[in-house]
């Protein structure tokens, strides 16, 4: 099919009511799909969706790993601006974000201080963007992954569980529904070892930075086979949308949370770690391709823009669709800090042609010795080949990943798509190097970089005396038929629900409404006098308040 190159300059459709929006999110894949020129995996469902969508060629995660990346998506902020750049800070035990904290994790910061589990505490004004959609009348569901580096507040989602679905919304409400799948996650390279390969190892492409041997080919074939499993899952989800008569009038996004799962992909700040497949199908929009640069910080303001909600001024992202579309970007920023037990600090600037890498610890190796990734057979094989006492069995390109970094790297992505030919010290490219250096300084001038702080110092700022701050209980006032809710907690988000019982134990995974303005007694059936109002206060990174209970008069 011949693709039409299009430029999106403003709202491309209008409809009488707020549009339904569906996000289909997979994990750990680069643009290794047919619509990007790689037909190794057979993906008929994604192929059909792409034929009806705008396929974005320049979409990038903020970080090449899930937790920091997802924090940027849900807030519209760079992880380095809100302190969520370190992977991982705490562990979500359930999809709703119930957390437990240990005194220590197996990591130290740049100053050599031991670290503890913690929840990131963003600035007070920062919210999860679905909260704004809920206030605008949307029914918001997440099925099921959160992984935001802080617990998901009850104000973020109407439903947040493995059962969350647009089908559960009240009649007449528009929906924003997120469905996540981990079928392509890094861990499935070994956890799917018992599943048949649907892609032959002999047929897979091997990137030049990986050894071309039987071990590599089997893992790569496993990954492409996982992509085929993911495509079948996408097909079932889209069939549900069609069965409900919603396919033609729903905005559909498909993307991966960051780049591929293989060695020198995940956790890296090169294209293999940051560049993702990304497509959007919109009613009334002509399919095609776009070279507009997109950062994951742009997703939150774009979703609000599509819903007709003005993005809040604090968001660092820029809407690329809808009523509040901004000017196209000229570059994106990517970052890399602590990955599990391995501490580092890398900043990158990517234009449409160039990739500039600033390494703040050039004495470290490019390879990050993270224990988790050693579950991948290919990773163990590469380490064995790289560490042999005799002549290494890796070629120069592959071996360079296990060598010390330089302070700066520069790659011509048009002529070097795998970023293996560093031009930073080539005098022919000094002007390009200086231009990219200037862009990084410009970015530093626009947003703070909390990665400059030792992580232990950052934790103490967020959790004074190593204690998680806690939201203060809500204040409820009823005057002349109006109920006003407030909290002394700066940046508080308030949730409420109504019951006939004074002794109910509310669940945290559904039923809570977002408080936006005074409640009018008697206006709705649920707000009748004599019923009970349950109120909970949230702030990102804080412990939840005690639940207050008041009887409506």
pLDDT at 3: 38
Contacts of 214 (CB under 8 A, 6+ apart): 201
Q: What is the pLDDT of residue 271?
A: 98
Whole-number Å distance between alpha carbons of 398 and 63:
23
**Tens-digit pLDDT profile for residues 299-352:** 999 999 999 999 999 999 999 999 999 999 999 999 999 999 999 999 999 999
How high is the pLDDT of residue 526?
83
Q: 7: pLDDT confidence band, cut at 50, 70 and 90?
A: very low
Residues 285 and 384 in one domain: no
In the predicted model, what is the mean pLDDT of residues 14-26? Answer: 84
CA distances from residue 342 to 24, 86, 91, 110 in whole angstroms, order as listed: 31, 10, 17, 10
Q: What tokens appear for 23 in the block?
A: 């996000």
CA angle 408, 414, 419 (to 5 degrees): 40
Query: Which tens digits make up the pLDDT trace of 414-469?
Result: 999 999 999 999 999 999 999 999 999 999 999 999 999 999 999 999 999 989 99
CB 13 within 8 A of CB 282: yes
Is there a contact between 430 and 378 (Cβ–Cβ < 8 Å)? Answer: no
pLDDT computed for residue 508 by the predictor: 80
Tell me how many helices (H) and strands (E) the chain has: 12, 23
Same domain, residue pair 352 and 479:
no
Residues 375 and 326 placed together within one structural domain of the fold: no
**Please, which pLDDT band fits residue 19 given cuts at 50, 70 and 90?**
very high
What is d(CA 418, CA 98) in angstroms, rounded to the nearest whole number? 40
1 against 84, higher pLDDT: 84
Report yes or no on 299 lying in a domain. Answer: yes
- Whether residue 303 sits in one domain with residue 184: yes
Q: Provide the edge-to-edge strand list for the sheet that holds 493-499.
A: 513-514, 493-499, 532-538, 548-551
Give the pLDDT score at 9: 34
Higher pLDDT, 262 or 16: 262
Return the bridge partners of 140, or none.
176
Give the pLDDT confidence score for residue 509 in this predicted structure.
74
Query: Poorest-confidence range of 77-86, 88-97, 181-190, 266-275?
Result: 88-97
Give me 261's structure tokens.
Answer: 């799962």
Task: Please say whether the beta carbons of 101 and 115 come within 8 A.
Answer: no
Please check whether residue 340 lies inside any domain of the structure: no
- Say if residue 195's pLDDT is above 70: yes
Cβ neighbours of residue 60 closer than 8 Å, sequence gap 6 or more: 274, 275, 276, 293, 294, 295, 296, 332, 334, 350
231 and 190 co-located in one domain: yes
> Which pLDDT score, from 0 to 100, does residue 95 have?
65
CB 509 within 8 A of CB 156: no
| Mean local confidence (pLDDT), 506-525 | 87
Q: Which two tokens stand for residue 405?
A: 């970094």
Helix (H/G/I), strand (E/B), else coil: 243: helix
Structural domain span for residue 365: 346-464
pLDDT number for residue 227: 98
Q: Looking at the 3D structure of the chain, how many domains does it have?
A: 3
Residue 551 in this model has a pLDDT that exceeds 90:
yes
> Is there a single domain that holds both residue 275 and residue 296?
yes
Write down the pLDDT at residue 137: 97
Structural domain ending residue among the three candidates 445, 464, 483: 464
- The predicted pLDDT at position 15 comes to 42
Q: Are 356 and 405 found together in one domain?
A: yes
pLDDT in the model for residue 94? 64
- Asked whether the predicted pLDDT for residue 26 surpasses 80, the reply is yes
Percent of the chain scoring above 70 in pLDDT: 95
Task: Among 432, 464, 496, give the residue marking a domain's end.
Answer: 464
Given 66, 140, 413, 476, the catalytic residue: 66
Q: Which long-range contacts (CB under 8 A, 24 or more apart) does 435-441 make?
A: 435/354, 436/349, 436/351, 436/354, 436/356, 436/410, 437/356, 437/408, 439/331, 439/349, 439/351, 439/356, 440/333, 440/347, 440/349, 440/356, 440/358
Query: What would the pLDDT profile of 341-371 be if each residue is shown by its tens digit?
Result: 999 999 999 999 999 999 999 999 999 999 9
284 and 415 in one domain?
no
Is 298 within 8 Å of 317 (Cβ atoms)?
yes
- Please check whether residues 313 and 358 belong to one and the same domain: no
Q: Looking at residue 113, what is its pLDDT?
A: 84
Residue 553 DSSP label: -
How much of the chain, in percent, has pLDDT values that exceed 90?
88
- How confident is the model at residue 93, as a pLDDT? 65
Assigned domain for 3 exists: no
Task: Give pLDDT, residue 12.
Answer: 38
Q: Does the annotation mark 66 as catalytic?
A: yes
Same domain, 46 and 109: yes
In a domain, 210, yes or no: yes
Q: Which whole number is the average pLDDT over 121-127?
A: 98
* Same domain assignment for residues 384 and 271: no
The verdict on residue 341 lying in a domain is no
Question: Is residue 14 in some structural domain?
Answer: no
Are 455 and 547 members of one domain?
Answer: no
Question: What is the DSSP code string of 397-449?
Answer: HHHGGGSB--SEEEEETTT-TT--S--TT-GGGHHHHHHHHHHHHHHHHHS--
Is residue 125 included in any domain, yes or no?
yes
Say how far apart CA 146 and CA 134 lie, in whole Å. Answer: 17
pLDDT grade, residue 114 (50/70/90)? confident
DSSP symbols for 135-201: HTT-EEEEES----SSPPPTTT-SEESTT--GGGSPTT--EEEEEE--TTSTTHHHHTTTSPPSS-G
Q: Which of 15-29, 234-248, 481-495 has the lowest mean pLDDT?
A: 15-29
Query: Pairing relation of β-strands 354-359 and 105-108?
Result: unpaired
pLDDT of residue 14: 39
Whether residue 8 lies inside any domain: the answer is no
Name the domain boundary from 416, 439, 464.
464
State residue 372 phi and psi, 5-degree precision. Answer: -60, -40
> pLDDT at residue 512 above 80?
yes
Q: What is the CATH number of the domain that holds 440?
A: 3.30.1120
CB 354 within 8 A of CB 410: yes
Q: What is the CATH number of the domain that holds 489?
A: 2.60.40.10
C-alpha 269/C-alpha 267 separation (Å) is 7
Q: Tell me what the mean pLDDT of segment 100-114 comes to.
A: 79
| CATH at residue 82 | 3.40.720.10
- pLDDT tens for 281-295 read 999 999 999 999 999
Q: Taking 50 as the threshold, does the pLDDT of residue 496 lie above it?
A: yes
Residue 103 banded pLDDT, cuts 50, 70, 90: confident
């Amino acid at each position: 099919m011949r693709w039409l190159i299009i430029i999106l300059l403003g709202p491309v459709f209008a409809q009488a009511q707020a549009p339904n929006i569906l996000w289909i999110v997979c994990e750990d894949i680069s643009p290794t799909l047919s619509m990007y020129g790689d037909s190794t995996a057979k993906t008929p469902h994604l192929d059909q969706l792409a034929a009806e969508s705008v396929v974005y060629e320049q979409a990038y995660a903020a970080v090449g790993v899930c937790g920091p990346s997802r924090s940027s998506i849900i807030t519209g902020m760079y992880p380095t601006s809100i302190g969520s750049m370190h992977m991982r800070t705490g562990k979500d035990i359930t999809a709703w974000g119930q957390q437990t904290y240990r005194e220590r994790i197996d990591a130290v910061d740049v100053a050599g201080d031991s670290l503890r589990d913690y929840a990131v505490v963003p600035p007070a004004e920062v919210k999860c963007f679905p909260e704004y959609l809920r206030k605008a009348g949307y029914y918001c569901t997440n099925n099921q992954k959160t992984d935001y580096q802080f617990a998901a507040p009850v104000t973020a989602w109407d439903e947040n569980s493995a059962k969350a679905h647009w089908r559960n919304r009240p009649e007449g409400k528009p929906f924003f529904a997120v469905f996540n799948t981990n079928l392509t996650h890094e861990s499935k390279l070994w956890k799917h070892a018992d599943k048949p390969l649907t892609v032959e190892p002999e047929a897979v492409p091997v990137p030049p930075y990986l050894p071309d041997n039987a071990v590599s080919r089997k893992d790569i074939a496993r990954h492409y086979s996982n992509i085929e499993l993911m495509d079948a899952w996408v097909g079932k989800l889209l069939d549900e949308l069609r069965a409900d008569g919603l396919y033609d009038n729903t905005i559909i996004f498909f993307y991966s949370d960051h780049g591929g799962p293989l060695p020198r992909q995940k956790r890296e700040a090169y294209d293999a770690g940051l560049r993702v497949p990304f497509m959007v199908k919109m009613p009334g929009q002509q399919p095609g391709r776009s070279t507009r640069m997109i950062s994951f910080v742009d997703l939150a303001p774009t979703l609000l823009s599509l819903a007709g909600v003005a993005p809040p001024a604090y968001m660092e992202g820029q809407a690329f669709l809808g009523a509040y579309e901004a000017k196209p970007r000229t570059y994106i920023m990517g970052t890399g800090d602590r990955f599990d037990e391995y501490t580092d600090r890398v900043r990158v600037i990517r234009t449409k042609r160039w990739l500039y890498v600033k390494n703040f610890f050039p004495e470290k190796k490019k390879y990050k010795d993270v224990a988790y990734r050693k579950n991948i057979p290919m990773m163990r094989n590469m380490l064995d080949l790289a560490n042999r006492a005799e002549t290494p069995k890796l070629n120069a390109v592959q071996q360079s990943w296990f060598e010390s970094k330089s302070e700066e790297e520069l790659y011509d992505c048009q002529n070097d798509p795998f970023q293996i030919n560093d031009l930073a010290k080539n005098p022919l490219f000094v002007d390009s190097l200086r231009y990219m250096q200037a862009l990084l300084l410009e970015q530093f001038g626009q947003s703070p970089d909390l990665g400059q702080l030792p992580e232990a110092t950052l934790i103490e700022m967020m959790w004074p005396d190593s204690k998680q701050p806690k939201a203060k209980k809500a204040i409820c006032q009823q005057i002349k038929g109006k109920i006003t809710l407030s909290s002394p907690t700066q940046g508080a988000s308030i949730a409420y629900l109504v019951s006939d019982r004074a002794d109910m134990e509310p669940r945290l995974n559904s039923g809570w409404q977002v408080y936006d303005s005074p409640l009018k007694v008697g206006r709705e059936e649920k707000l009748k006098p004599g019923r009970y109002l349950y109120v909970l206060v949230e702030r990102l990174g804080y412990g939840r308040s005690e639940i207050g209970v008041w009887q409506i008069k």
